[in-house]
Structure formats: structure tokens, C-alpha cells
Amino acid sequence: MSDSFEYLARETKSDLYSKAKKDRMGFWAEQANQLHWHKPFTKTLDWSAAPVATWFEDGELNVAYNCLDRHVLAGNGERIALHFEGEPGDSRSYSYAELTAEVKRAANVLTSLGIERGDRVAIYLPMIPEAVIAMLAVARIGAIHSVIFGGFSAESLATRIHDADAKLVITADGGFRRGKASALKPAVDDALGENACPSVENVLVVKRTGGEVNWTAKDIWWSEAMAAADAEHEAHAFPAENPLFILYTSGTTGKPKGILHTSGGYLTQAAYTHRNVFDLRSESDVYWCTADVGWITGHSYVAYGPLANGVTQVIYEGTPDAPHQGRWWEIIEKYRVSILYTAPTAIRSFMKLGRSIPDKFDLSSIRVLGSVGEPINPEAWLWYSEVIGGNRAPIVDTWWQTETGAIMISPLPGVTTTKPGSAQVAIPGIVAKVVGEDGVELANEESGYLTIAEPWPSMLRGIWGDPKRFQETYWDRFPGQYFAGDGAKKDADGDIWILGRVDDVMNVSGHRLSSAEIESALVSHPWVAEAAVVGANDEMTGQAVVAFVILRLDQVEAAGSDADVSRVLREHVAKEIGPIAKPRQIMVVAELPKTRSGKIMRRLLRDVAEDRPIGDVTTLADTTVMSSISAKLAAGAND
Ligand code: PRX
């Protein structure tokens, strides 16, 4: 085996726990020093301006250099960085040298368009190599990317571009999904229409599908700009705390939060966790994380962690069932994938299709399996382990969030004895607690709230443009501790079980959605007077969106039957937010259950949505409301 990756030291994992426990700061400094620093840091953490941390503050580095040039200079330029598999079956591979060359050109393109350090660039692309190239090019010149998932609507795109004041948008004509070309550019045109986002000066357009595109004065073809750009580009060093990206995620209010991450600490933890949680062997592994770069998993475990670690990875454009239901397993067989990182919702849908599909493929290359995004039920865990992992590959159930930037709680292969359904233990260097209402740590077997008790390198540095919301959302509930928004419990062995969100955030197929955001989308329709949205348990998607709406009296006739209302409003939500937010079910009701102070009691609506006996109604202003909702349901008036 080649020893050319010696500069990426492999740690002995059982030592990591004791080292981190003995000297947490020294431990993180050691992890950071696995990166290339143009200027070494002398300070590890400054927490004096809590809750805004600075890590490795006086150090300087270039994130893209760490993910690219460094490997080429160490003699690993020929190693494949990306195997891209397009949905229609086209494929392309980039070596580290080739990817570096592409990113250098793209960095020159950005500079030629006037993008400077600190400027925001919105990226709205399908899962194609250009998405990764664009992210790294933005990072290379010290600008800030804001990747917006391609499934979000024009409205959502506009809100995000506007909030970040993006100067440039990078998009494509479209991408391939479920066997057909699906356009992206029209959503950008809509978002920028009538000068709705005046900060945007240009739009770079990647040609992917070759479909018709409407051309505006701001548009430039990516390929033409790349062809005209200089091939050489020197990576300059930026301070460790230089902002790297903003990623929008749902919170408890209608407005998405722009989570801000910076460079040195983020890359340190993304690379460290990727190496240790997946037991990485950079020289021989073929790694595949199925997440889209539009989510945090695609940032930390497609773009940054794996490339910082110089591994070969696969990226796939499409859906698991196109053109056939064995597509993922075919990809694993083709590239001899050894590490697979995916979400429980995908595993559950494969389980439903049956093992005969994966059994047709050679999955013997798989060595480690990862899970992320939502609790993995023990049944799905066992199926994943047996059918995909051949009972050989350990499963790492990784808990983390957009805000934490990188994995926080997970077993370590070969060290932790895994337990189906539990994310288990904080990784070395992280201090996680389960606390009660008063913020005091609970005994094992008691349910409470998950908190992170000490700052960590890849922690969010704020909410873009909203320091007050940052303080209130994460730090006010349990002073001195980060409140994650999740319920949790430690079992008798001290292993952590995540119990799901304790706020009005839902987790649908591993995607975070806000009740308030969907409610605002519903009430923006002229028929709707009031709406309440809850997440109900769902066998396939973990949770599903269930909405209760009250129609405006003067619109009842126009709206028609409940089935019509449901169909129209589901489409309306897809248009306002994106298809992922479409309610599974919409119930038309005459009243919503409210307390005397006017707060909607979603707990009771969840009982209805989950078909459970309705809980305590004594705090309702009108205790008959729930019986009228139940009576309507029983009468089968809703679809
Ligand atoms: O509720 C937790 C759940 O996903 C939330 C974070 O969502 P997001 O920021 O979109 O990031 C998802 C990918 C990291 C958490 O608050 N969650 C994430 N991973 C797990 C999980 N719940 C249980 N087990 C997990 N492994």
C-alpha cells in the first residue's frame, strides 16, 4: 500500500478518547495541525465573547488548498477525487490534479466577475461535479457560498439570495431526476424577476441537460467563462475565522436561519470526524455519501471532509430508483464503494422493496456504513447491517446538525460496540449532556434535552444578520450550554438515544422543516384564514407534514370540496417552499384548538394526526373544538 498519505496521520482510535479527555484544547490543536496552515496558529480557542467562539484565530489557511493542491503537491495528483455518475448513466471522473485545475479556473472566473473576499455567492445546482467545483472556487478566493438545494422553489431561492445579498448565482439549465430533465434556470429567472434581488450582478449557467433556456442580460455560460479563464491560480491564505459559508435551515419561526460557518475550525472537525468516524483509509477507500450538497451533510461529508482527507469518492446526480430500483447497488458494485453514508429514510424505502434487489449486486466491497439525519429505527438498522453490510460492516449512527457543522455523537468503528437505534457517545473532543428543565444533567434512563456543554471547532458562529436570534435560539434556554432542540435520554450504559425535536421543527425524510414556515405558506393562499401544521409519525419518512386549515368564510364556495382544497393547497406549498414541504394530508376544520392566550395546541393536533386518543384538553379556550375535529374525521369528510 502506498505511504504517500503519511502526511495525514492515522490516529489510534482508543487513544483519542483518553487524549481528548486529558487535554481537550491540546487534542483539538493536534487535529487542526493535520491541515496545512500558511501561517500556524498559536491560540486554540477564545471563548471570551461567548457564544461566538474563535478557534485557531491567529492562524491562516486556504480551505480549497487543503482539499486540493496539498494532495497534488504530496504526489497524489493522479488519485481520483470524484467519480461522478449522472442519472441517465453518463459518468466522469476527476483526479485530484484535474479537480484542482478546474477549481483554479473557476476561481479566476469568479474574480473576473468582481467577486472578492467576503462576497456572497449563491449556488443552485443539481448534484454534478460543478457544484463541488463552485463551492471550492468560492472558498479559494475567500468569498462565502450559500448553497440552496435544487428542490427549493423560486420563492425560497429568492428569500435566501435576498437575505445573504448574494452578488452572483451559479446555476444550471437543469438536472436529471426520475428519468427526465428537470429545469432549474426558470426558478432563478423567477427569483430575480422584476429586480427582486438587486444585489445579483451575474448568473453563471452550467449546461447540463441541454434544454431550452431563457437568456437574460445577467447570464453567462459557465463553460464559456471557464474556457476563457486563466489556468493558474495561487491560493492565498485567509484567517481561520474567515467566513466559509452560509447555509439556510428551518427554525421555529417562518423565516429560515442563515447558519454561518467559518474556515479553520470547520475544516478541522469535518476532516477529523470523516477520518475517524468512518475509519478512513485514504489510500484505498472509495467513499460515497448520498447527500445533496444543498444540505449540511453534502457540505461536510461530500465537499470538505472527504477532499481534505484526499479520498476517492462517488457522487450521484439522481434518485435511487432511476432508471431501476437497484441503481444504488449497481453504483456500489461499479466503483467498489467501501464506505456508504446515507439516511434512514432511504434504508426504509429499500427495505420495503425487499432484499432481492440489493442481493443481485456484489456489495462485498462495503466496509463501513453510516446513517444520518434522523433516528434510525432498530429494524432498519438490522436490515442495513445484514443486507447491505453483510453483517461485516459496522454501522455508525451519527448525530449532528447544520449548526454543529460536523458529527458530534457517533460510535467509532472498532472501538465502540454498536447498539441498534442509539447514536451512543460524544466523539472525542465533544462534551454532550442530557439535562432537565433546569439545565442540570440528568441521571441515566431519564429523558431530557440534549445540550453541548463546551464549545467545539465547527460550531456555528452565528445566524447571518441576526445575532439576537442566535443568542435566543441556542443559548438562552440553558445558559452556558448549547441547546440543540432535540430530546434525548441516556440508557443504563450511558449511551445516548435521540428522541427527536422538542420544538416546532419537523424531520421529514431527514430534512428539516418548520411548522411555522409551512403555516405561512398556507395562509398566503387567498382561501386560507388560518393554518396549523404538525409532524406526525410516518413509517417511511420518519415524520410527515399534516396540516389543519380554516377557510375564509367568503371563499368556502370557491374552494369547493375538501379534496379540491387539499390538492390546490399541496401544490401551493410546493410552489412557495418546494415539493419536500408538501403536506401528506390537509384537513379542513372549522376551528383550531387554542389556549386562552391564543396559542395553538399542536400537541392535540398531533394526537389527531397520529390517530391517538386526544390528550388533556382542559387548557383549551373552547373544549368542544377537539370533539368537532374528531367528529369530522370520523365522518370521513376529509381525504
Ligand atoms: O433532530 C436531529 C436530527 O436532525 C436534526 C438536524 O437536522 P439538520 O440540521 O438538517 O442536519 C441533518 C444532518 C446532520 C437534529 O436536530 N438528526 C440528525 N442526525 C440524527 C438525528 N436524529 C437522530 N439520530 C441521528 N443520527
Q: How far is the CA of 512 from the centre of ligand 1 (A)?
A: 8
The atom number, within ligand 1, closest to the CA of 376 reads 24
Q: Which of 399, 419, 451 to mutate to test the pocket of ligand 1 (most atoms within 8 A of CB)?
A: 399
Please list every protein residue whose CB sits less than 6 Å from any atom of ligand 1.
249, 296-297, 372-375, 397-402, 423, 484-486, 498, 501, 507, 512
C-alpha–C-alpha distance, residues 471 and 292, integer Å: 29
pLDDT attached to residue 11: 65
pLDDT attached to residue 1: 37
The atom number, within ligand 1, closest to the CA of 400 reads 14
Q: How far is the CA of 374 from the centre of ligand 1 (A)?
A: 5
Instruction: Please say whether the beta carbons of 447 and 439 come within 8 A.
Output: no
C-alpha–C-alpha distance, residues 398 and 363, integer Å: 22
pLDDT attached to residue 251: 85
**Averaged over 525-537, what is the pLDDT?**
94
Q: How far is the CA of 297 from the centre of ligand 1 (A)?
A: 10
The atom number, within ligand 1, closest to the CA of 423 reads 26
Going by alpha carbons, the residue nearest to atom 8 of ligand 1 is 401
Q: How far is the CA of 221 from the centre of ligand 1 (A)?
A: 37
Query: How many H helices and E strands in the chain?
Result: 21, 30
Whether 2 has a pLDDT exceeding 50, the answer reads: no
Domains along the chain?
12-486 (3.40.50.12780), 508-633 (3.30.300.30)
Strands annotated E in 117-276: 120-124, 144-147, 168-172, 174-177, 180-183, 202-206, 219-221, 238-239, 243-249, 257-262
Q: In Å, what is the CA distance from 133 to each residue of 73, 75, 81, 611? A: 19, 21, 11, 47
C-alpha–C-alpha distance, residues 528 and 618, integer Å: 27
Whether 632 has a pLDDT exceeding 80, the answer reads: no
Amino acid in the structure at residue 590? A
Question: What's the grid cell of residue 493?
Answer: 450504559
Q: How far is the CA of 408 from the centre of ligand 1 (A)?
A: 11
pLDDT band at 8 (very low <50, low <70, confident <90, very high): low
Torsion, CA 256, CA 262, CA 267, CA 272, rounded to 10:
-70
**Nearest one of 392, 414, 267 to 340, comparing CA atoms:** 392
pLDDT attached to residue 10: 59
Q: How far is the CA of 254 from the centre of ligand 1 (A)?
A: 20
Q: How far is the CA of 147 from the centre of ligand 1 (A)?
A: 19
Q: How far is the CA of 247 from the centre of ligand 1 (A)?
A: 15
C-alpha–C-alpha distance, residues 97 and 79, integer Å: 8
Q: How far is the CA of 81 from the centre of ligand 1 (A)?
A: 27
Instruction: Please say whether the beta carbons of 127 and 315 come within 8 A.
Output: yes
C-alpha–C-alpha distance, residues 569 and 551, integer Å: 11
The atom number, within ligand 1, closest to the CA of 484 reads 16
pLDDT attached to residue 4: 61
- Which range (375-389, 582-596, 597-611) has the least confidence? 597-611
3-class SS of residue 131:
helix
User: Which tens digits make up the pLDDT trace of 391-418?
Assistant: 999 999 999 999 999 999 999 998 888 8
Sign of the dihedral through C-alpha 61, 62, 66, 69: negative
Strands annotated E in 391-470: 395-398, 432-435, 447-452, 462-463
C-alpha–C-alpha distance, residues 386 and 333, integer Å: 17
Q: How far is the CA of 64 from the centre of ligand 1 (A)?
A: 27
pLDDT attached to residue 621: 83
The atom number, within ligand 1, closest to the CA of 505 reads 1
**Averaged over 525-541, what is the pLDDT?**
93
Q: Terminal CA-to-CA distance of the chain, rounded, Å?
A: 61
**Averaged over 616-635, what is the pLDDT?**
82
Q: Which of 449, 486, 508 to mutate to test the pocket of ligand 1 (most atoms within 8 A of CB)?
A: 486
Going by alpha carbons, the residue nearest to atom 11 of ligand 1 is 401
Q: Which of 269, 299, 400 to mutate to test the pocket of ligand 1 (most atoms within 8 A of CB)?
A: 400
Q: How far is the CA of 41 from the centre of ligand 1 (A)?
A: 32
Going by alpha carbons, the residue nearest to atom 5 of ligand 1 is 401
pLDDT band at 636 (very low <50, low <70, confident <90, very high): low
Going by alpha carbons, the residue nearest to atom 4 of ligand 1 is 373
**Nearest one of 282, 302, 407 to 84, comparing CA atoms:** 302
Q: In Å, what is the CA distance from 483 to each residue of 307, 474, 508? A: 30, 5, 21
Instruction: Please say whether the beta carbons of 61 and 36 come within 8 A.
Output: yes
Q: Bridge-partner residues for 537, per DSSP?
A: 543
Orientation angle between helical segments 24-32 and 13-22, nearest 10 degrees:
130
Q: Which DSSP string do the residues of 202-223 spell out, in sequence order?
A: EEEEE-SS-------TTEEEHH
C-alpha–C-alpha distance, residues 247 and 516, integer Å: 19
C-alpha–C-alpha distance, residues 601 and 599, integer Å: 6
pLDDT attached to residue 393: 96
The atom number, within ligand 1, closest to the CA of 403 reads 9
Going by alpha carbons, the residue nearest to atom 24 of ligand 1 is 375
pLDDT attached to residue 283: 93
323: left (phi over 0), alpha (psi -120 to 50) or beta: alpha
Q: How far is the CA of 548 from the centre of ligand 1 (A)?
A: 26
User: Which tens digits make up the pLDDT trace of 331-350?
Assistant: 999 999 999 999 999 999 99
How high is the mean pLDDT of the chain?
A: 94
pLDDT attached to residue 7: 67
Q: How far is the CA of 506 from the centre of ligand 1 (A)?
A: 10
Q: Which of 266, 374, 381 to mutate to test the pocket of ligand 1 (most atoms within 8 A of CB)?
A: 374
**Nearest one of 399, 468, 532, 545 to 257, comparing CA atoms:** 468
Whole-number CA gyration radius for the chain: 24
pLDDT attached to residue 195: 80
C-alpha–C-alpha distance, residues 90 and 87, integer Å: 7
Beta carbons within 8 Å of 127's beta carbon, 6+ residues apart: 150, 175, 292, 293, 298, 315, 316, 317, 318
Amino acid in the structure at residue 187? A
**Averaged over 17-32, what is the pLDDT?**
96
Q: How far is the CA of 375 from the centre of ligand 1 (A)?
A: 8
Going by alpha carbons, the residue nearest to atom 6 of ligand 1 is 401
Q: How far is the CA of 591 from the centre of ligand 1 (A)?
A: 33
Largest CA distance in the chain: 75
3-class SS of residue 56:
coil
Whether 638 has a pLDDT exceeding 80, the answer reads: no
User: Which tens digits make up the pLDDT trace of 215-224?
Assistant: 999 999 999 9
pLDDT band at 81 (very low <50, low <70, confident <90, very high): very high
Whether 3 has a pLDDT exceeding 60, the answer reads: no
Beta carbons within 8 Å of 404's beta carbon, 6+ residues apart: 452, 456, 458, 459, 460, 484
- Which range (198-207, 256-265, 623-632) has the least confidence? 623-632
Q: How far is the CA of 486 from the centre of ligand 1 (A)?
A: 9
The atom number, within ligand 1, closest to the CA of 410 reads 26
Going by alpha carbons, the residue nearest to atom 7 of ligand 1 is 401
Q: What is the DSSP letter of 612?
A: -
Q: Which of 250, 449, 507, 543 to mutate to test the pocket of ligand 1 (most atoms within 8 A of CB)?
A: 507
C-alpha–C-alpha distance, residues 364 and 175, integer Å: 31
3-class SS of residue 312:
strand
* Percent of the chain residues past pLDDT 90, beyond the cut: 87
pLDDT band at 637 (very low <50, low <70, confident <90, very high): very low
User: Which tens digits make up the pLDDT trace of 499-526?
Assistant: 989 988 999 998 999 999 999 999 999 9
pLDDT attached to residue 290: 98
The atom number, within ligand 1, closest to the CA of 512 reads 10
The atom number, within ligand 1, closest to the CA of 409 reads 26
Instruction: Please say whether the beta carbons of 474 and 403 come within 8 A.
Output: yes
pLDDT band at 9 (very low <50, low <70, confident <90, very high): low
**Averaged over 118-139, what is the pLDDT?**
98
3-class SS of residue 426:
strand
Going by alpha carbons, the residue nearest to atom 22 of ligand 1 is 374
User: Which tens digits make up the pLDDT trace of 547-591?
Assistant: 999 999 999 999 999 999 999 999 999 999 999 999 999 999 999
Q: How far is the CA of 500 from the centre of ligand 1 (A)?
A: 8
Q: How far is the CA of 543 from the centre of ligand 1 (A)?
A: 13
**Nearest one of 554, 555, 536 to 545, comparing CA atoms:** 536
pLDDT attached to residue 617: 86
pLDDT attached to residue 639: 44
User: Which phi and psi angles does 328 have, rounded to 5°?
Assistant: -65, -40
The atom number, within ligand 1, closest to the CA of 407 reads 14
pLDDT attached to residue 5: 64
pLDDT attached to residue 245: 98
The atom number, within ligand 1, closest to the CA of 485 reads 16
Instruction: Please say whether the beta carbons of 508 and 546 come within 8 A.
Output: no
